[in-house]
Amino acid sequence: MGTLKSEERAYFNFDIFSQQKEYQEVNLKFVERTLPIEEISFDTEFVMLDVACGTGLITSILLDKVNGRRCKIVGIDPNFASIEIAKSKVRAFGETKVEFYECIAQDIPNFIPSESVDVAYFCNAIHEIPTDLGKQESLNAIAKVLKPGGKLFMNSTFTRESYTPDTVKFWGMLKLIAFQSLGKKRSKDATQFEILSIDDYKRKLINAGFNVVEVNSVRVELSESAMLAICKYDAFIQGVFIDMEDTEDFTLEQKSGALELAVKTILHQVKSKTPEFNPFARNWIEFSCEKA
């Protein structure tokens, strides 16, 4: 497959999953719990940064919560298709400005002045940055544009602690069944998707100059609808199939179809035995930080 074609990126973006009820609820509650609304007034412009904004869910939540106060919300994302959707969904309101830029997290200082941001959100995305260095550089870039004492709120459902003991085996089955449906197996020589621990992320945050104030865990039950939606997201698809034999020989559409089949197969097997059990629960891990 090589580099994704523009039409693939336009279709296999995050928008479908971002519309799922459980995904919206966990992120809404995260913002409600963390946004320092009391610090926002009509006197000075309060600047918020939405890193990896995708199609604008967090941006729209922030816009709703500030309710026209004198703010600026800046969303950045590397996927041009997601940025275009976000622009169509989230628009300035009252004294709140909204801006979007197509860039990776490491390039934030090229678009935003140093020490100009009050609050940054980095939601559901840091695990998608493929290397340790890239993750660290992204956090360093966010720290650079935050004011002293500025706050970073970050969450991820791809940490080692995100796998719940009662469902972890089903995530392994998802991958196995998807590979088998394409007639392939795992390549022992391929690079695997790296999953870091809470402590790994804490070290990176501290290295970037943050004090980690709180770490919170929220269990989320993912419905069949949500699972089928995430199977249409390019980064999730590529993460699952990164270590499959001959992975480059298959299109995103073929891989997406294999994942959808795996989801339905697992749900059918589980529900026939234990109808009330959800095999696709995960823990969202939430970090609340302050720039030292």
For residue 2, the model assigns a pLDDT of 41
Contacts of 159 (CB under 8 A, 6+ apart): 127, 195, 196, 197, 198, 200, 201, 283, 285
What's the chain's Rg over C-alpha atoms?
A: 19
In this predicted structure, the answer to whether residue 5 has a pLDDT above a threshold of 70 is no
Average pLDDT estimate for 54-80: 95
For residue 190, the model assigns a pLDDT of 82
Mapped onto helix, strand or coil, the DSSP state of residue 3 is: coil
pLDDT tens figures, 85-143: 999 999 999 999 999 999 999 999 999 999 999 999 999 999 999 899 999 999 999 99
Cα–Cα distance measured from residue 15 to residue 283, given in angstroms and rounded to the nearest whole number: 21
Q: Which fold has domain 6-291?
A: Rossmann fold (3.40.50)
- What is the model's pTM? 0.92
pLDDT tens figures, 204-219: 999 999 999 999 999 9
For residue 8, the model assigns a pLDDT of 58
Contacts of 292 (CB under 8 A, 6+ apart): 148, 209, 210, 211
For residue 10, the model assigns a pLDDT of 59
Question: Are 252 and 8 spatial neighbours (Cβ–Cβ below 8 Å)?
Answer: yes
Mapped onto helix, strand or coil, the DSSP state of residue 87 is: helix
In this predicted structure, the answer to whether residue 50 has a pLDDT above a threshold of 50 is yes
Q: How many Cα atoms sit within 13 Å of 78 on the Cβ side?
A: 12
The token pair that represents 256 in the structure block: 């997406």
